[in-house]
Amino acid sequence: MNIVRASNYEDMSKKAAEYVLRKLSEKPDAVLGLATGSTPAGLYEQLIIEHQKRNVSYRQIRTINLDEYIGLPADDENSYHSFMNTQLFRHIDIPLANTHLPNGEAADLPAECSRYEALIDHLGIDLQLLGIGENGHIGFNEPGTSFGQTTHMTTLAESTRQANARFFPSIEAVPQQAITMGIASIMKSREILLMASGRRKAAAIERLMSGETGEDFPASVLHRHPHVTILADEEALSTVT
């Protein structure tokens, strides 16, 4: 596990962008596993700047997102489809046909999970981007999720719904369930970049760095992956000795 320190959120976002662009210069048609939330938003902003100011093209990349809420229409402003469109896709030259998210409105949700896992296997993720929940979740794999789990439907932990309520009009509006890549799906990626910023993430980063592995702390599975980088800022690393 490789640790990269950043001074703050902006520095973390710039370093993450450099990392992603390095990958794309080696492999212009790379498959990127994407995350939503506050953590990668600054990285996406940097990727957009590179496109607009330096003509970097994302035409050949393919993307596959970690998760989507169940029951929110794709065009709801809080769906992860909308997040990706507004924070990244609509500002760059990636064809939308090259982008993939789970369909949280599928009539047959278990079939949608199987379709998504087959897509992950078919595309093969070169670089998976991850944030981390305060409880150690990755994707929406909450504590207690089996490390063997592939894409599945999950019920969000109450603490996760509270953390995500900041994007919704009220806590009641936050969906109860989501489709998420499983821990085993994430572990299939060739390379993983986990980002963390702010004091709110310090306890999770401290636990991750302790090296102790267990299903009560999903991110700890990353110790079993051969190619992981943790990119964290000073505040997120503030309690790591």
Q: Does 221 bind ligand F6R (CB under 6 A)?
A: no
Q: Does 35 bind ligand F6R (CB under 6 A)?
A: yes
Which span (13-21, 117-125, 138-146, 185-193) binds ligand F6R, by CB under 6 A?
138-146
Q: Which of 33, 102, 136, 139 binds ligand F6R (CB under 6 A)?
A: 139
Determine the distance from the C-alpha atom of residue 215 to the mean position of all C-alpha atoms in its chain, rounded to a whole number: 19
Q: Which is nearer to ligand F6R, 56 or 157 (CB)?
A: 157
- Geometric angle at alpha carbon 205, from 186 and 210, rounded to 5°: 95
Q: Does 39 bind ligand F6R (CB under 6 A)?
A: yes
Residue 46: other Cβ atoms inside 10 A:
18
Bridge-based pairing of strands 228-233 and 2-6 is parallel
Which span (1-9, 110-118, 135-143, 182-190) binds ligand F6R, by CB under 6 A?
135-143
What would the two tokens of residue 157 be? 């932990």
What would the two tokens of residue 7 be? 């001074």
Which span (53-61, 86-94, 101-109, 130-138) binds ligand F6R, by CB under 6 A?
130-138
Q: Closest separation between CB of residue 30 and ligand F6R, Å?
A: 19
Q: Are 1 and 221 in contact (CB under 8 A)?
A: no
122 is catalytic: no
Residue 231: other Cβ atoms inside 10 A:
24
Catalytic residue among 50, 67, 68, 112: 67
d(C-alpha 69, C-alpha 180), whole Å: 9
Applying CB under 6 A, the residues found at the interface with ligand F6R are: 35-39, 66-67, 131-133, 137-140
User: Active-site positions?
Assistant: 67, 135, 137, 142
